[in-house]
Structure 1
Amino acid sequence: MRALIGLGLVLAVAGCAQLGITRKAPAPGAQSGTPATAMPLPKPSGPNAAALDTTTAAQRAEAAQKPASGETKLGATIASLGDPTDPGFWMRTGLVSVERKGRIENPKTGKSAKVTLIPSGKPAGAGSEVSLPALRLLEVPLTELPELTVYRL
């Protein structure tokens, strides 16, 4: 009887190996329950935000000037970074139906930028895309989704 039980266990273990069900021994020096040594993260090899911003200091200074009067508040929108390779100061938004001059403002910092407002074809509440130079002028982190106030000039 013992021989049959022993033979059954041997066959069961052998069957597990045939099915790929095995218990691998830990690597030498590795302890159970500890994370493996992490490889360092690769350094970004692509261009950074400053390299992609092709605006001049004069263009940034002009865009930062607030108009004396004659603007109309269109509303607020949640903004994200648009195509970083698309130059200039612009916002694609559902708050306008035709392209026009405007201004966007970060209410948290009070910083603003004159931009070209471009219709996105989406509803006004669908959010907006903003150019890299405009977000940099507003001092908004590029990974943030800020709420910006939009004005028509």
Structure 2
Amino acid sequence: MTPARLLPLLLLPILAGCAQVRLPPHTGAPAPAAAAAPEPAVAPAAIAPAPPRAARTAEQFDTTTPEERAAAAARGTAGGTLLGETVASLGNPAEPGFWLVTPLVASATTGRVVSAATGQAVEVELRPSGGAEGAGSELSLAAIRLLGVPLTDLVVLRVYR
């Protein structure tokens, strides 16, 4: 086979990976107008930018603003239903925002965590880990800093929805 004929065959698997978008089948009828958009299960999280590639310190990796940190801490004081306790370590520091990846939830939702050590609380996005109960959790850099615990500690958290 000539290189000109071989190239499309080599590119086919790459292009197939790009075809992840699925459109609903066309029924011919226009879509009905929505009366009101349903509320999302997860409150809009702070859209912090990704840290710079040259980030080396916690301050450089934590791209949340002082206002976002204050709001997350203030909203973290509300009640809620206790889901349980978990032991959390620092999650991916390059992933911005306030979140907890935990086996205590089956789908993403808004919640709050309270440090057993400091009593500090913060509102976070609770994300399912898919792990077994008791498998432990991962907490975002921004959230762990607001809780006032060392970044290298395993943190005991009470998790609320």
Instruction: Give the 5 Å matches for 1:112-131.
Output: 112-131=121-140
What residue is the counterpart of 2:92 in the other structure? 83
What residue is the counterpart of 2:23 in the other structure? none
Question: CA RMSD, aligned part only?
Answer: 1.4
Distance 1:99 1:54 in 2: 22
State the AA in 1 paired with 2:128: P
TM-score by length of structure 2 reads 0.64
SS in structure 2 of the partner of residue 117 of structure 1: strand
Distance 2:127 2:55 in 1: 28
Distance 1:67 1:129 in 2: 21
Asked if the contact 2:118–2:149 (Cα under 8 Å) also holds between the matched residues in 1, the reply is no
Stretches of structure 2 lacking an aligned partner (at least 5 in a row) = 1-53
Distance 2:132 2:70 in 1: 32
TM-score by length of structure 1 reads 0.67
What residue is the counterpart of 2:72 in the other structure? 63
Deviation at 1:124, TM superposition (A): 2.0
Question: How many percent of aligned residue pairs carry the same amino acid?
Answer: 51
Q: Structure 1 residues 98 and 76 mapped into 2: Cα distance closer, same or farther (>3 Å)?
A: same
Distance 2:78 2:127 in 1: 23
Correspondence 1:148 to 2:157? yes
SS in structure 2 of the partner of residue 124 of structure 1: coil
Q: Structure 1, residues 96-145: CA drift from partner, whole Å, max 9, x if none?
A: 00100000011221101100000000012000000000000001111100
State the AA in 2 paired with 1:110: G
Distance 1:142 1:68 in 2: 25
**Post-superposition, which runs of at least 4 consecutive aligned residues in structure 1 deviate over 3 A?**
66-69
Deviation at 1:46, TM superposition (A): 6.0
Correspondence 1:74 to 2:83? yes
Distance 1:75 1:68 in 2: 16
Deviation at 1:80, TM superposition (A): 0.3
Q: Structure 1, residues 2-29: CA drift from partner, whole Å, max 9, x if none?
A: xxxxxxxxxxxxxxxxxxxxxxxxxxxx
Stretches of structure 1 lacking an aligned partner (at least 5 in a row) = 1-44
What residue is the counterpart of 1:99 in the other structure? 108
What residue is the counterpart of 2:24 in the other structure? none
Distance 2:114 2:61 in 1: 22
Q: Structure 1, residues 77-102: CA drift from partner, whole Å, max 9, x if none?
A: 00001000000000000000010000
SS in structure 1 of the partner of residue 134 of structure 2: helix
Asked if the contact 2:109–2:125 (Cα under 8 Å) also holds between the matched residues in 1, the reply is yes
Give the aligned length. Answer: 107
